[in-house]
Amino acid sequence: MKAIVIQGKLELVETELPTPAPRPDQVRLRMAYGGICGSDLHYYNEGANGEFVVREPLVPGHELSGTVDLDPSGELAPGTPVTIHPATFGTSEPGIEDRPHLWPNGAYLGSASTWPHTQGGMSEFLVVGKSMLRILPTTLPLRRAALAEPLAVALHGIAIAGGVEGKRVLVSGSGAIGLLTAAAALSLGATEVVTTDVLPGPLRRARELGVHDTIQVGAQNIPSAHFDVVLECTGLPVAITGALDATRRAGIVVLVGIPLNEARPVNLSPLVSRELQLRGTMRFNDEIDQAVELLDTNPQLDRVITHEFPAPQAVEAFTVAKDSDASGKVLVSLW
């Protein structure tokens, strides 16, 4: 089968790999679309995603859609449209029995965090456990369904915040995750949704999604102590400082973006003086089911997708995806 493979820093090639055969509890999929995530960009541009270094050829991709190619059990017919929950859960621990996404020793498609690496889905075929599949409504196009994983990340952040219905919400950062977070907040009943970014392109895309206002950081001021919930989607220390300042007394700040694992200065004074709650969020649990429902009923979410490239143009796709002013979500169509 054909596959896109990252061999190291700035080394991405199309190659041939053995076509996998599913076990009785697995299903082989013919892949349709793969979205390029920030972690994919790190693996390609730096040869590593944080501490996780590419040590063997890695097929990227965990934002996926496709159709069933072969189900040994006969339960799922060939051609059944699906998306994938990309996590394989690890070992339960006391206190987090109901949060398998936090269990240690798990794995994620397209990740160098394990050895051997956990191969992703930017390939002609992919074999996964049947429990990882989510059957799609016939009304949901496979192209839009590739947004299910990042939208689930956004929905989990909102769940960690305790919901947004009737609340004033600031989304810090208007990249693909920020855009989907803003769209989810609108769908879930927020009374005001404002997004920020340093670049005009992402803010233009946010306005196209219907947010109430946008703020270009550096050119406009973010209102202080105004928002009930702030969803910080960049992970940048300066943005975290801004998120805390933007939150009203007793409000909630959720870190959706992943900060670097290093000491960086953040002004925590508002956290204390306003008795804020600062919460972390990691990927998602089962919100991908809700994501599929929202994608099916909200065709305007297609606007988050700004570019689509065929698999032979994957290098160009990764280059465009790195330009956050020019691109939102970039998809690769897979053979």
What does the block give as tokens for 313?
Answer: 């143009």
Residues 100/132, Cβ–Cβ less than 8 Å: no
As beta bridge partners, residue 63 has 35
Residue among 323, 318, 39 nearest 200 (CA): 323
What does the block give as tokens for 48?
Answer: 């590593």
- Radius of gyration of the chain from its Cα atoms, rounded to whole angstroms: 20
In this structure, which amino acid lies at residue 102?
Answer: L
Pairing of strands 247-255, 329-333: unpaired
pLDDT value of residue 260: 86
Longest C-alpha distance within the chain, in Å?
Answer: 60
* Stretch 75-92: mean pLDDT: 98
Query: Residue 286's pLDDT band (boundaries 50, 70, 90)?
Result: very high
Pairing of strands 329-333, 305-310: parallel
Residues 257/230, Cβ–Cβ less than 8 Å: no
Average pLDDT, the chain: 97
Could you write out the DSSP letters of every residue in 234-301?
S--HHHHHHHHHHEEEEEEEEE-S---SS------HHHHHTT-EEEE--S-SSTHHHHHHHHHH-GGG
pLDDT tens-digit readout, 248-274: 999 999 999 999 888 999 999 999 999
Residues 168/227, Cβ–Cβ less than 8 Å: yes
Pairing of strands 277-280, 247-255: parallel
Cα distance between residue 334 and residue 324, in whole Å: 23
Pairing of strands 63-70, 227-232: unpaired
Residue among 173, 199, 325, 200 nearest 257 (CA): 173
* Stretch 61-76: mean pLDDT: 98
Cα distance between residue 158 and residue 274, in whole Å: 21
Residues 58/152, Cβ–Cβ less than 8 Å: no
| Three-class SS state of 181 | helix
Task: Judge whether residue 127 has pLDDT over 90.
Answer: yes
* Stretch 206-229: mean pLDDT: 98
pLDDT value of residue 50: 87
pTM for the full predicted model: 0.97
pLDDT tens-digit readout, 152-181: 999 999 999 999 999 999 999 999 999 999
pLDDT value of residue 103: 97
Q: pLDDT > 70: what percent of the chain? A: 100
